[in-house]
Amino acid sequence: MSAVLRPVGQPLGRPIVDAAFLADPYPTYAALREAGPMHWSDEFFGGAWVLTRHADVDAVLRDDARFSAQRTGGWVMGSDDTTSPDALNSRAELQDFQRLFARAMLFIDAPDHQRLRGVMNAGFRGDQLERLRPGIERWIDQRFDAIDAKGQAGSGFDFMAQIARPMPAQVIATLMGITEADRGDFIAWSDDLADFIGAPMPTRELTRRARISLLAMARYFEQLTAQRRRQPGDDLVSRLVQGEARGQIQPGAEMLAQCAMLLFAGHETTRNLLGNGLHALLAEPGHWQRLQDEPALLPGAVRELLRHESPVQYTGRRVATDLVLHGQLLRRGDLVVGLIGSANRDPARYEQPDRLDLARRAAPSLSFGAGPHVCIGASLTLMEAQILFSRALQRWPGLQLVDATPRWNGNPVYRGLQSLRVIAPATPD
């Protein structure tokens, strides 16, 4: 990208998002925090105020009166070449994409946000999630058995392809009541949406692919919700249909948008936590062994892994009313980008923030957000990671990285690994 950062303080003279950032964003975050709490960058959707420090990012996420989650219009309609007569993603053609995308709970303010969240909350209660535990454990054990049976554990295998990508898709599909036969395209659809959401300024091609995939999701859920109206079950889609019958969810775009985004969000960030987390545990000697010696550390260690290498690196809000922040006038409609990855490494909030400390007893990170839009599936994500790491520690105590240099996916929002080759040498009896 050619856009140059224009901070409120001293200019850094280079883009935020470049090859070095995608490989390791944390030196850039440190430089941004040092240069000032807020900067202007024209890299993000034509221009945005970028917040670097924990206190500011946390405050913006909690302040839904002054900072709105409604921000999809320029995102969807602002991809390049939209004025070209023959552009595939012309404004008229993108209306159906925008109509669905903008109705997802992630991009809706109060009071509609609370209305939708109230319907979904019951599906993420602890007792509901615990019902998934046996199935998650069974899936992991079967996958581990298959890897061992093929001799792949001893010769090396791709943890992302074999476990981290399919597992969260399996779990969220089970929670939503989606049959095994219908899950084939879900990961591909989610990848297209992740590429679109993760682009600071989506291209025409990214927007086109995201549109096709979101509409395909909607068509699938249109059939599934119709089936659940006839034959309700004890799953999350049935709960949404029941909410529709009570008038809590509007039929059509609003219903379909919640289904699609639940499927996407339930899969995308969790897989990156699993991959990022395992890489961090194996990259530095001693972490994997310490969790074997002190298994009680695992729940806190998973939260520390979230802080240390957040699967979501930044999020956005629109200024709802003119205000002054750090001496700078922000106009209504301005975009504000909160750098979650930077906030999670802020030394004003965390002691030795760049150090992975499995026994850290600090305040929660911002990896799940904060305030009204805090991640509704946070408990499910934590449960999946704890189960997987616990079973991997037991099955493969000698697990090691094959490749010293990680292959990151190049997505500045959803930071994760393209592949993660690991090996579990046989241990002597």
Total domain count for the chain? Answer: 1
| CATH number of domain containing 259 | 1.10.630.10
332 domain-assigned:
yes
pLDDT of residue 90: 64
91 domain-assigned:
yes
pLDDT of residue 14: 64
pLDDT of residue 340: 98
274 domain-assigned:
yes
Name the 3-class secondary structure at 314.
strand
1 domain-assigned:
no
370 domain-assigned:
yes
358 domain-assigned:
yes
Provide the domain limits for residue 60. Answer: 6-423
pLDDT of residue 2: 34
pLDDT of residue 9: 43
Q: How many residues does the chain have?
A: 429
> 143, 158 in Cβ contact below 8 A?
no
428 domain-assigned:
no
Tell which residue, 308, 285, 279, 309, has the closest CA to residue 405. 279
Name the 3-class secondary structure at 10.
coil
What stretches in the chain show pLDDT beneath 50?
1-4, 6-7, 9-12, 80, 82, 85-86, 88-89
pLDDT of residue 415: 96
* Six token digits for residue 134: 């046996």
pLDDT of residue 239: 95
429 domain-assigned:
no
pLDDT of residue 10: 40
**From CA 93, how far away is CA 218, in angstroms rounded?**
16
Name the 3-class secondary structure at 249.
coil
Token look-up 């009166």 returns 65
CA distances from 144 to 148, 162, 298, 389 (A): 6, 9, 20, 12
